Chains A and B, each alone.
Chain A
Amino acid sequence: MIVAERKPIPRILKTIEPFKKIALIGCRGCVAICSTGGDREVEIVSAALKLARKKQDRPLEIIEKTLIRQCDPEYLKPLEKIAPQVEAVVSLACGVGVNLIADLYPEIKIYPGVDTLFYGANPALGEWEEKCRGCGDCIIDLTGGLCPIARCAKNLLNGPCGGSQDGRCEIRPDVPCVWHQIYERLKARGELDRLKEIWAPKNWIPAGHGGLRRRVREDLKVNKPNKEKP
């Protein structure tokens, strides 16, 4: 999932400072799962913002709504009814949702309420950990399923580095050295030979060369009506 973290309340307050009525829009996708921007967090952030503004003697009115997702245009439709009732919209979705709203509804003053952090897993309640950097050229078939791009502090492709001690990372001793883990994993799987292969240089072009990345599947696109008579 995409893991995000709520922005500090004073930062959100500063963003919406000129407004008397806003909409606070959550998302039931990744940010709900990582307890940052779902229904519950919309209620909490809304109450906190109202309380802060009440304290300033400048009451704030908030329309609360949580959408199924904010990264698909069809789920943004409720905004068309909400936006005309407010001066601004604060989204608790990840940056993808905020960007899509900004693309599709340029007339809406849309602001982020969260910082988007990383692609991560939820190894335990209340914990999220980066597992993937979305570099677009996955090499974890060679590394026992463990990603050195996301999980090595130096993003090494030929680790472990000289600083790895007792299987721990020298930059973050609380974190295991992923290259140590890769070695042990491949050894246990009888696949150590994979580390003897000379890998071709990693292709970094899919990691973001040339601006925004797009993926197109022509077979999934909506067909335009055929105007020619058979």
Chain B
Amino acid sequence: MSLTKITILCCHYTNEAGEEDFAGIPACIEVRRFPCSGKIEVVDILRAFLDEAEAVLVAVCEKNKCHNQVGNLRAEKRVSLTQSLLAEIGLEPQRLRLAWIPRLDTGALVEEVKNMYEVLVDILSQKGDTK
């Protein structure tokens, strides 16, 4: 049985989490890193879904902590736009979340991924999909 895939899109400054950090989460976790969360485009999020992700977490630095000043705020707007696109095509917008993560705080990131996983399990169980 294939594991549910969750893709994390984040910037280099947000975290350095590796495979071992997500070992406790029963899902396939993919991390795609960008120079800054402001570089994460709507199409990057949609492509993550096209590449079999069941949920996408966009992890950005906390407000006022972005290395490039407003990259995280740009990411926030793009996540919001993508959520409305997902709704348009009939996918639950809750499959996409934005998480404000203290810089390099792996524990906070893992916690957000766990939350994302729980939301996803809820969505899938409501649809009768028990991956």
Q: Looking at the complex, which of A14-22, A40-48, A173-181 is the stretch in contact with chain B? A: A40-48
CB neighbors of B among A92-127 (8 A): none
With the chains together, A13 CA to B49 CA distance in Å? 18
Given contacts A40-B41, A40-B43, A54-B50, whether A48 and B85 have CB atoms under 8 Å apart is yes
Q: In this assembly, does B128 line the interface, its C-beta being within 8 Å of a C-beta of chain A?
A: no
Q: In this assembly, does A9 line the interface, its C-beta being within 8 Å of a C-beta of chain B?
A: yes
With the chains together, A55 CA to B46 CA distance in Å? 13
CB neighbors of A among B1-54 (8 A): 41-43, 46-47, 49-50
User: A52: which of B43, B47, B90 is its contact (CB, 8 Å)?
Assistant: B90
With the chains together, A43 CA to B46 CA distance in Å? 10
With the chains together, A55 CA to B85 CA distance in Å? 14
Interface size on A, residues (CB 8 A): 14
Q: In this assembly, does A163 line the interface, its C-beta being within 8 Å of a C-beta of chain B?
A: no
Report the minimum CB–CB distance from A50 to chain B (whole Å).
6
Q: Is the CB of A47 within 8 A of B46?
A: yes
Q: Is the CB of B88 within 8 A of A8?
A: yes
Q: Is the CB of B42 within 8 A of A44?
A: yes
Task: Tell me the nearest residue of chain A to B47, going by C-beta.
Answer: A47
Q: Is the interface of A mostly helix, strand, loop or mixed?
A: helix
With the chains together, A44 CA to B43 CA distance in Å? 5
With the chains together, A48 CA to B88 CA distance in Å? 9
Q: In this assembly, does A10 line the interface, its C-beta being within 8 Å of a C-beta of chain B?
A: yes
Q: Is the CB of A48 within 8 A of B89?
A: yes
Q: Which residues of B contact A13 (CB under 8 A)?
A: 89
Q: Which residues of B contact A50 (CB under 8 A)?
A: 50
Q: Is the CB of B89 within 8 A of A9?
A: yes
Q: Is the CB of A51 within 8 A of B91?
A: yes
User: B49: which of A8, A10, A44, A51 is its contact (CB, 8 Å)?
Assistant: A51
Give B contacts to A, CB under 8 Å.
41-43, 46-47, 49-50, 85, 88-91
